[in-house]
Amino acid sequence: MTAPCLRLDDYLDGRLSAANAEAFETHTLACPACDAALDQAAPDLSVLRDVSCPPEVLEAALRTARRAPALAPDRLPARRHRPRRRFVVVPLALAAAVAIAVGVTWDRALDDSAPAIAEAVPPAAAAPEAPSALPEPTPPASDATAAPEPVAPAPRPEPTPAPRPTPPAPELTAPADDDLVAQTGATTDPAEPEPTPEEIEAARDDLALAFHLVAEAQARAREAVRDEATPLTHTLDRALPF
Amino acid sequence: MSPDALVRQHADLVYRVALRVTGTPDDAADAAQDALVKVWKGIGAIDAERQRAWAARVARNAALDLIRRRKVRPEPGRGEPVTEPPCASPQPDDHAEAGDLRAELARAVGTLDDPYRTILLLRDVEGLAYAEIADALDLPLNTLKVYLHRARRRARAALTASAPELVP
């Protein structure tokens, strides 16, 4: 037994200064007797082992993990927390908002200009094979922008020798709000087998995960905006005399 | 061994680490679920002798991530679970006494900061070897031993104040 060994009780009872306690801890690395004595003085924590993982937690994790390879890497829970993500989320959110606003405005502009386009185009320029009871087929964007121009010499002299393929009738008669559904239905192969309940459940879970991630991104975006705005507000308060 | 079997084998360890780091059963469930998904995905690439330590490391990181995310890190001395999870194999006679004992010990462990709390848990509760813990926490072996002595001394001091009958 050496002199540092005599400090064992003082160490255990917290009577050593921080420096002396650290020196004693270093001493235990080279003193098996003190090391063993400290082991024996440790509280018995084995009773804390009587806790098991709840089965619902385990099963939920296994369900998520089995679907994980089918998910994109950035949708996995393991990738939810990336550094500096807030600097990505805010511009993305703003871009999404602008895109939605532009899309709505564009749709309304097309709806409003549809009668004007129909009046501006002479009957000879209209597709002759289109039934008169059906509205004008929705043209491509380039056609829609070119049609209102009063001087469009290219289509006028030609009696439309090469007619454009007309969309199927159900698309023409579908209301505007149902266009997306109708188009989606038109592109679905009728021979394609119905999804299984497992696939539906997996898709539903994926959708729930997507909503969860979007909600989390929104919360982080709000936090990021608040973090950025607060110092700016303080700076303005100090800089402005009013 | 399949990933499912490996996850089931380490699920209790993962949950206990998550529980002691987060301090509440609800947060532990969230952290453990995230950690188990990561264990399922990655444990196949880990050597068999390192899988337990790696699972503990994943659980600790998931719990610390959750704490940082929610910014509800339990303060020292107040980190004990509000409701301690039920015992895995409850005995009718001494269930209440064991529950009290467990709550006292959990409270004492909850007074420690990380990494002392995790080191104490992995060594004195889970029984991992020094090398496994050093591997899991990326600590030099001698540093780990010093930290373990420090953690035990602090837990002993916390127990001396609240439940001296539990101090050897």
* CATH pick for B1-75 out of 1.10.357, 1.10.1740, 1.10.760, 1.10.3470: 1.10.1740
Give the C-alpha separation, B162 to B119, whole Å. Answer: 22
Spell out which residues of chain B touch residue A28, defining contact as CB-CB under 8 Å: 145-146, 149
Give the C-alpha separation, A56 to A47, whole Å. Answer: 23
List, as ranges, residues 10-29 from A with C-beta within 8 Å of B.
11-12, 14, 25-26, 28-29
Nearest to B71 by CA among A159, A195, A219, A36: A219
Nearest to B135 by CA among B5, B70, B47, B66: B47
pLDDT score, position B17: 93
Give the C-alpha separation, A189 to A187, whole Å. Answer: 6
pLDDT score, position A222: 86
- Probe site for chain A from B125, B145, B167 (most A CB atoms < 10 A): B125
Give the C-alpha separation, A56 to A48, whole Å. Answer: 21
- Probe site for chain A from B64, B117, B153, B165 (most A CB atoms < 10 A): B153
pLDDT digits (tens, 9 = 90+) for B78-131: 444 445 565 555 445 555 666 778 888 888 888 898 889 999 999 999 999 999
pLDDT score, position B167: 76
- The number of beta carbons lying within 10 Å of the beta carbon of residue B66 is 22
3-state secondary structure of B47: coil
Query: What would the mean pLDDT of B57-81 be, rounded to a whole number?
Result: 73
With b meaning 16 or more CB within 10 Å and e meaning fewer, what string describes A182-217?
A: beeeeeeeeeeeeeeeeeeebeeeeeebeeebeeeb
pLDDT score, position B163: 75
pLDDT digits (tens, 9 = 90+) for A108-152: 555 555 444 444 444 444 444 433 334 434 444 444 333 344 444
pLDDT score, position A148: 40
3-state secondary structure of B30: helix
Does the beta carbon of A38 lie under 8 angstroms from any beta carbon of chain B? yes
Spell out which residues of chain B touch residue A52, defining contact as CB-CB under 8 Å: 11-12, 15, 88
Q: Pick A14's closest partner by Cβ from B20, B37, B157.
A: B157
DSSP secondary structure code for residue A81 in this structure: -
Question: Could you tell me the CA-to-CA distances from B45 to B48, B49, B51, B104 in Å, in that order?
Answer: 9, 12, 9, 39
pLDDT digits (tens, 9 = 90+) for B28-51: 999 999 999 999 999 888 888 899
pLDDT score, position A122: 43
Nearest to A163 by CA among A113, A194, A129: A129
3-state secondary structure of B77: coil
Query: What would the mean pLDDT of B146-166 be, rounded to a whole number?
Result: 86
Does the beta carbon of B159 lie under 8 angstroms from any beta carbon of chain A? yes
DSSP string, A109-161: HHHHHHHHHHHHS-GGGS-TTS-TTSPPPPPPHHHHHHTT-S--TTTTTS--S
Could B156 and A54 be called an inter-chain contact, meaning their C-beta atoms sit closer than 8 Å? no
DSSP secondary structure code for residue A16 in this structure: S
Could A48 and B109 be called an inter-chain contact, meaning their C-beta atoms sit closer than 8 Å? yes
Does the beta carbon of B70 lie under 8 angstroms from any beta carbon of chain A? no
pLDDT score, position A10: 87
Nearest to B97 by CA among A47, A42, A51: A47
Cα within 13 Å of Cα(A35), Cβ side: 13
Residue A223 tokens read as: 């936090």
**Mean pLDDT score of chain B, rounded to an integer?**
84
pLDDT score, position A156: 47
**Architecture, CATH, for domain B92-168:** Orthogonal Bundle (1.10)
pTM of the model: 0.53
Spell out which residues of chain B touch residue A46, defining contact as CB-CB under 8 Å: 124-125
Judge contact between A42 and B152, C-beta under 8 A: yes
Give the C-alpha separation, A173 to A42, whole Å. Answer: 81
Q: Which residue has the higher pLDDT, A185 or B135?
A: B135
Q: State the sign of the Cα–Cα–Cα–Cα dihedral B136, B139, B141, B147.
A: negative
Q: How far is A238 from chain B (nearest CA, A)?
A: 30
pLDDT score, position B97: 61
Is the preceding omega at residue B115 within 30 degrees of 0, hence cis?
A: yes
Spell out, as residue ranges, where chain A has pLDDT lower than 70: 1-2, 68-94, 101-192, 240-242
Q: Which long-range contacts (CB under 8 A, 24 or more apart) does A206-209 make?
A: A206/A67, A206/A71, A206/A75, A209/A71, A209/A75
| Residue with the two structure tokens 């591997």 | B135
- Domain residue ranges in chain B: 1-75, 92-168
Give the C-alpha separation, A138 to B33, whole Å. Answer: 50
